[in-house]
A = this chain, B = another copy of it.
Amino acid sequence: MAAPTIDHRGPTFQTLTFDVLRGLASVLRTSHPVVIYPASGTGAWEAALANTLSPGDRVLMYETGHFSTLWKKIADSLGLKPQFLQGDWRHGVNAAQMEAELAADTQHAIKAVCVVHNETSTGVTSNIAAVRLAIDAANHPALLLVDTISSLGSMEYRHDEWGVDVTVGASQKGLMLPPGLSFNAVSDKALAARRSATLPVSYWDWEPILAANEKGFFPYTPATNLMFGLREALVMLEAEGLENVFSRHARHAEATRRAVRAWQFEVLCANPAEYSSALTAVMMPEGHDGSKVLETALRSFDMSLGVGLGRLMGKVFRIGHLGDFNDLTLIGTLGGVEMGLAVAGIPHQGGGVDAAMAYLVECARSDG
């Protein structure tokens, strides 16, 4: 990241572009093009909609939590007509319900289905393959747009195999970079939709970017230093092996849940098949405010936990366990939570760290 800013019109940058595009495609499991934006993930959300849709288009979205709600608001801002299926913030998308909605849309007014793969506000994942099957079962031509911002590089994700049309990703979670880069992986069908879409696009326009990318360049100034960092991050992921990275995250998530249960707290995610490997949201006991845990953890142990977002404000706190994280960082983190609960005077059982350690020991032994 500290490499001097280089000329983004020279051959060194060209090589960087090709390396990064190849690496991203590999992490996204796609043979289709990936577009890189010098922007936060929010920009890539907007890009996915603006490139493929026209004013007034209906989009089917599912309320999995705070971030799906934000994506829905972007659709509103752009003049789309989101149909927002209500959820309880404890489950992923209900694919059967989606299928019913799509089947009912015999006029094919719905132009796109938008799903968040890993809800950062809840620690609940959605089954993307099941959504694909639902669309196909309804024989519906809608595009499938998926947000993988907080799962990319931490959990399995398969753009091509799952039939996703636009995948939205970003740099600052599983790719372990600072924020400032985001991505769209784009299917042939999405590229075709681009050509007929009439929402105004300029910065987010895929076409000039894909054209310039063919020569290793960008139509406007790319975030060069973040691109260097991204190449490093992709090399590190490849060196560890994606499967190993995913199983490391799964191990830490399971250890975290065992700690949560030992504390006699409840994991927000209600369906074990939908547990997130990237973070765990923990429900506060009735009458206790999660923000007190956060304040105590920050003040006493200089540890940042995730606040409850949107309607979960005060009701949960979130433990992140993604990116450059090892067993001992996890134990330190869980220790910080357990001590924070004690200092804050939140009623709980001890033994959470012990439970997590017991699980990690078991894993280490079977590795052995």
Is A223's CB under 8 angstroms from B179's CB?
Answer: yes
- Confirm or deny: A364 has a beta carbon within 8 angstroms of a beta carbon on chain B: yes
Specify the chain B residue showing the minimal Cβ separation from A225: B178
* Proximity bits, A310-332, B CB within 8 Å = 1, else 0: 00000000000000001111111
Specify the chain B residue showing the minimal Cβ separation from A179: B221
- Which candidate, A39-47, A83-91, A93-101, A264-272, is the interface stretch facing chain B? A39-47
Specify the chain B residue showing the minimal Cβ separation from A201: B77
Query: Which residues of chain B are within 8 angstroms of A170 by Cβ–Cβ distance?
Result: 221
Tell whether A326 pairs with B300 under 8 Å between CB atoms, given A180-B225, A200-B199, A331-B336.
no
- Which candidate, A122-130, A280-288, A337-345, is the interface stretch facing chain B? A337-345
A318 to chain B: closest CB distance in Å?
11
For the complex with contacts A37-B39, A38-B179, 7 further pairs of A-B residues with Cβ separation under 8 Å are A40-B223, A74-B202, A178-B224, A300-B368, A327-B339, A339-B357, A339-B364
Within 8 A of B (CB), among A205-234: 205, 220-226
A329 to chain B: closest CB distance in Å?
6
Q: How far is the CA of A227 from the CA of B41 in the complex (A)?
A: 17
Is A39's CB under 8 angstroms from B42's CB?
Answer: no
Query: Which residues of chain B are within 8 angstroms of A329 by Cβ–Cβ distance?
Result: 332
Specify the chain B residue showing the minimal Cβ separation from A39: B39
Query: Which residues of chain B are within 8 angstroms of A332 by Cβ–Cβ distance?
Result: 328-332, 335
Query: CB within 8 Å of B: which residues of A?
Result: 1-2, 5, 7-10, 37-43, 46, 55, 70, 73-74, 77-79, 170, 172, 177-180, 199-203, 205, 220-226, 298-304, 307, 326-333, 335-336, 338-339, 342-343, 350-351, 353-354, 357, 360-361, 364-365, 367-368
Is B328's CB under 8 angstroms from A336's CB?
Answer: yes
Query: A220 contacts which of B8, B41, B327, B367 (Cβ < 8 Å)?
Result: B41
Is A2's CB under 8 angstroms from B5's CB?
Answer: no
Instruction: Return 14 A-B CB contacts under 8 Å, by A number.
Output: A7-B304, A9-B304, A42-B203, A73-B202, A74-B203, A170-B221, A179-B225, A223-B223, A300-B364, A301-B328, A328-B335, A331-B353, A335-B335, A339-B357
Query: A46 contacts which of B202, B224, B307 (Cβ < 8 Å)?
Result: B202
Is A368's CB under 8 angstroms from B40's CB?
Answer: no
Q: How far is the CA of A41 from the CA of B351 in the complex (A)?
A: 43
